[in-house]
């Protein structure tokens, strides 16, 4: 099982400013090399504790008191016995309980060294800490012990906590103990763990392992270990083209197939920030120029997924199922806001090692995200570590820092089948899957019903509304077959269907699209998980709307197939008014109805929907009850009930070519939704078939087409499958963006039947062009472009 004191929580617990406040001075008479290690311990102590926090001021006073009460309770229940340190954490068959035991001791050590806990310098607490450390060392975590169960517990979780304990309690430990503990770490984390950049020693895991090695060197006075840790970071920095790590387009992947910017990516970011701060100004300072890639990634990889203080669930993998965990002593629910707050603190830590302009901008971004997080105020986050809380409080109170607004624009992360679309007033994210990226990730009994996350899940938030949409018990209570935006078969799937660690990848290559940086044309060749379902789905992400097209929807499962327009979480008691075609609909739970399409609907407090296809759409208002334990084996079994308003298309049983067309308008009023529905000339659907899907919006100068096969749609002709976005600009120029999402084209011809006077700029992939009455572009091989767009700028004729 995995609980609240898991990798993510422990990362934030270790965050803090690179300060020496509260650290012991170097020992009198120590040799020069010993003084260096003493100084490094002092730096790490500052990082762990976050500096000299104002213990008498809120929110710190209450948090410190809670820390003392929690630690006092653990001291009173500690009962060393064979196979356990606490009765509820038996580790005889589960090393996670051993790891949790070290986590408890580390928390207790903070209560001992921090002022304001009521246990500061308490002799009884120190005695319990020393007893606990000795017991775990003698009973389970020592040289010669045979490893069992989850590798992470032995090589990252337990040793990180143990080494932090050594730093925090260094002056209190018996003289022989640091060496004994270091011998245990050497046994489980030998130098060979970073001998090759493979397996469990890549990406965020490699950074975690380097942290263990560096702290082992600091605690044990071993300079070679510190140097090894620094040098072993080198493979983390370069962009990757497959597997774990950062990609040139800003994607971050862990476990080979899973988008993980929000959790493993946050571990990597925070871990590097800690190590950069530890080693800065020493003989082991990280000077590899590749480290700049990480600094660049703050705005290229992480910032696009942060909105109003939350980090989007599309890049948090199985962590979305970690809500209320049984093992959490505080019983605080984890969610997208909590993960976001820890990430904000990690960015601030990394900023201390960045350039002056980067530091200034990042602090402004963080201050803005904090100010706009009305749903879950960061400084009121009781799950956030005190060190992280201190860092956020410092930037919030700094009058020299100007809060920056949310960025506006579109970002396509082709290497992890994700996209974000940010407009004034709202933001959205899209999750897809391909042979390169898993439908979802399960593992360790987590995220057991995330099956359809990659089937086109479309999530969105308003600037001042809907920010708790996926935070408020969404994942345990939503119908897992009706995630918003998805097209799915109602075929019943087993918990964890498809296999652990991203094993469930569809045999589909054409997934991706094109963007000019503001608007986009995205597409997915959908193949259902454990299903015969196939479909072609496209999204055209524009100014105030997302145009959604589906075609070629086929299935032979013998079950119904549905496309979910949206599925809004109304909270525990929401009665948000629904209007369809101008008529107010019933608010009673259990009400359901079908409505003809074309038509429109508006949900008060959220936005509008314009249905432009033929047939009908359905609506259901219901209350759903679920438990975190149903989607995560370590979750709480407490029943939770939330109300939902669902709009969907019922394609019937075993459809043989079904289709749909609709717009989603976040934040739109009923009047604006009705006006859009009546404006039949605003949007032209150029194609919606298994050959191509495309739209044109003349008022925006936008034309977008996803060609599933060679063919034509509106003014565009493509000689092979590709995605095309055209933006005509008021200055008489246009951008023509082309991509090969399948990554198989050795050549591509594109024709735009529009007079063009000249080509103003071209990518290296363009081998020839012809202008005049129409534009003809000839591209060479796009197989190595990783699905990235090729932009050609022209002057219109």
Whether 287 contacts 590, CB under 8 Å: no
SS3 386: helix
> Could you give phi then psi for residue 693, rounded to 5 degrees?
-135, 125
CB atoms within 10 A of CB 452: 26
* Burial class, 614, CB count within 10 angstroms (exposed 0-12 / middle 13-18 / buried 19+): exposed
Q: Which H or E run contains 116?
A: none
Residues with Cβ within 8 Å of 794's Cβ and at least 6 positions away in sequence, in order, are 733, 734, 736, 756, 757, 758, 759, 760, 771, 775
- The answer to whether the beta carbons of residues 449 and 495 sit under 8 Å apart is yes
Query: Which residues on neighbouring strands pair with residue 549, listed in sequence order?
Result: 538, 661
197 is catalytic: no
Catalytic residue among 75, 211, 318, 410: 318
Q: What tokens does 621 get?
A: 């208002």
- Asked if 93 and 86 touch (Cβ cutoff 8 Å), the reply is no
Buried-exposed string 334-345: b where 16+ CB fall within 10 A, e elsewhere: bbbbbbbbbbbb
Sign of the CA dihedral running 352, 357, 360, 366: negative
Is 554 tagged catalytic? no
Nearest to 522 by CA among 734, 686, 718, 695: 695
Is 651 catalytic? The answer is no
Instruction: Write phi, then psi, for 171 (nearest 5 degrees).
Output: -70, -15
Residue in 8, 41, 230, 255 annotated catalytic: 255
| Beta strand segments in 220-285, E | 245-246, 252-254, 258-259
Residue 637 CB coordination number (10 Å): 10
Strands (E), 141-273: 245-246, 252-254, 258-259
How far apart, in whole angstroms, are the C-alpha atoms of residue 239 and residue 244?
Answer: 10
d(CA 682, CA 572): 38
Closest CA to 427 of 699, 667, 677: 667
List the one residue out of 395, 384, 499 whose CA is nearest residue 441: 499
Contacts of 716 (CB under 8 A, 6+ apart): 686, 694, 703, 705, 724, 726, 750, 751, 752, 753
Annotated catalytic residue: which of 152, 170, 264, 470?
Answer: 264
Helices 7-14 & 32-49 angle (0-180, nearest 10) = 120
CA 5 to chain centre: 18
Phi first, then psi: give them for residue 614, nearest 5 degrees: -90, 170
Residues with catalytic roles: 255, 264, 318
């Amino acid at each position: 099982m995995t609980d609240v004191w898991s990798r993510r929580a422990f990362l934030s617990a270790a965050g803090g400013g690179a300060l020496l406040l509260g650290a012991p001075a170097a020992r009198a008479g120590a040799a020069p090399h010993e003084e260096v290690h003493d100084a490094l311990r002092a730096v790490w102590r500052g990082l762990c504790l976050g500096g000299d926090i104002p213990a008498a001021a809120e929110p710190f006073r209450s948090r410190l008191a809670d820390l003392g009460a929690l630690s006092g309770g653990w001291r009173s229940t500690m009962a060393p016995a064979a196979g356990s340190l606490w009765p509820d954490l038996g580790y005889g068959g589960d090393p996670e309980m051993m790891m949790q035991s070290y986590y408890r001791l580390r928390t207790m050590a903070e209560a001992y060294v921090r002022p304001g806990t009521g246990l500061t310098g308490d002799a009884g607490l120190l005695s319990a800490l020393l007893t606990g450390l000795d017991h775990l060392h003698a009973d389970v975590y020592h040289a010669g012990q045979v490893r069992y169960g989850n590798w992470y517990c032995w090589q990252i979780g337990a040793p990180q906590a143990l080494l932090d304990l050594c730093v925090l309690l260094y002056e209190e430990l018996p003289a022989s103990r640091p060496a004994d503990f270091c011998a245990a770490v050497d046994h489980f984390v030998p130098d060979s763990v970073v001998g090759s950049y493979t397996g469990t020693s890549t990406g965020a895991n490699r950074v975690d392992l380097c942290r263990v090695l560096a702290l082992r060197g600091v605690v044990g006075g071993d300079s070679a270990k510190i140097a090894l840790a620094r040098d072993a970071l080198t493979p983390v920095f370069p962009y990757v083209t497959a597997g774990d790590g950062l990609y040139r387009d800003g994607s971050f992947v862990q476990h080979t197939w899973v988008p993980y910017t929000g959790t493993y990516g946050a571990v990597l970011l925070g871990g590097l920030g800690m190590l950069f701060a530890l080693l800065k100004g020493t003989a082991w300072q990280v000077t590899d120029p590749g480290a700049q890639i990480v600094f660049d990634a703050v705005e290229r990889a992480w910032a696009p997924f942060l909105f109003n203080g939350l980090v989007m669930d599309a890049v948090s993998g199985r962590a979305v199922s970690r809500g209320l965990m049984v093992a959490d002593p505080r019983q605080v629910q984890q969610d997208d806001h909590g993960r976001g707050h820890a990430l904000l603190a990690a960015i601030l830590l990394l900023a201390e090692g960045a350039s002056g302009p980067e530091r200034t901008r990042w602090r402004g971004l963080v201050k803005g995200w904090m100010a706009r997080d009305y749903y879950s105020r960061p400084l009121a986050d009781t799950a956030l570590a005190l060190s992280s809380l201190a860092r956020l409080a410092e930037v919030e109170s700094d009058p020299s820092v100007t809060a920056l607004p949310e960025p506006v624009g579109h970002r396509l992360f082709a290497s992890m089948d994700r996209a974000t679309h940010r407009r004034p007033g709202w933001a959205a994210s899209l999750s897809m899957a391909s042979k390169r990226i898993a439908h979802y990730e399960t593992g360790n009994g987590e995220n057991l019903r995330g099956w359809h996350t990659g089937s086109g899940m479309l999530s969105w938030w308003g600037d001042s509304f809907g920010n708790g949409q996926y935070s408020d018990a969404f994942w345990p209570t939503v119908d897992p077959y009706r995630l918003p935006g998805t097209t799915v078969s109602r075929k019943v799937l087993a918990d964890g269907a498809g296999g652990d660690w991203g094993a469930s990848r569809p045999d589909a290559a054409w997934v991706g699209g094109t963007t000019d940086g503001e608007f986009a044309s995205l597409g997915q060749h959908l193949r259902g998980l454990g299903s015969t379902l196939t479909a072609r789905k496209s999204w055209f992400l524009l100014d105030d709307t997302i145009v959604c097209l589906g075609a070629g929807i086929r299935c032979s499962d013998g079950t119904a197939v549905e496309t979910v327009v949206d599925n809004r979480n109304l909270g525990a008691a929401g009665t948000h008014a629904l209007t369809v075609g101008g008529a107010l609909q019933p608010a009673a739970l259990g009400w359901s109805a079908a409505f003809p399409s074309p038509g429109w609907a508006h949900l008060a407090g959220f936005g509008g929907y314009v249905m432009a296809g033929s047939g009908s759409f359905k609506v259901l208002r219901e209350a759903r009850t679920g438990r975190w334990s149903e989607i995560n084996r370590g979750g709480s079994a407490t029943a939770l009930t939330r109300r939902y308003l669902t709009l969907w298309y019922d394609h019937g049983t075993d459809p043989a070519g079904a289709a749909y067309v609709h717009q989603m308008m976040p934040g739109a009023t009923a009047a604006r939704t009705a006006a859009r529905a009546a404006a039949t000339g605003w949007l032209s659907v150029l194609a919606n078939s298994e050959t191509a899907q495309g739209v044109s919006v003349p008022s925006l100068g936008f034309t977008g087409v996803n060609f599933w096969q060679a063919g034509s749609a509106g003014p565009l002709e493509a000689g092979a499958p590709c995605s095309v976005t055209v933006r005509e600009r008021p200055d008489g120029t246009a951008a023509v963006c082309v991509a090969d999402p399948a990554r198989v084209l050795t050549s591509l011809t594109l024709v735009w039947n529009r007079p063009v006077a000249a080509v103003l700029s071209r990518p290296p992939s363009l081998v020839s062009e012809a202008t005049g009455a129409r534009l003809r572009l000839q591209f060479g091989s796009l197989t190595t472009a990783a699905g990235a767009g090729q932009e050609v700028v022209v002057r219109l004729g």
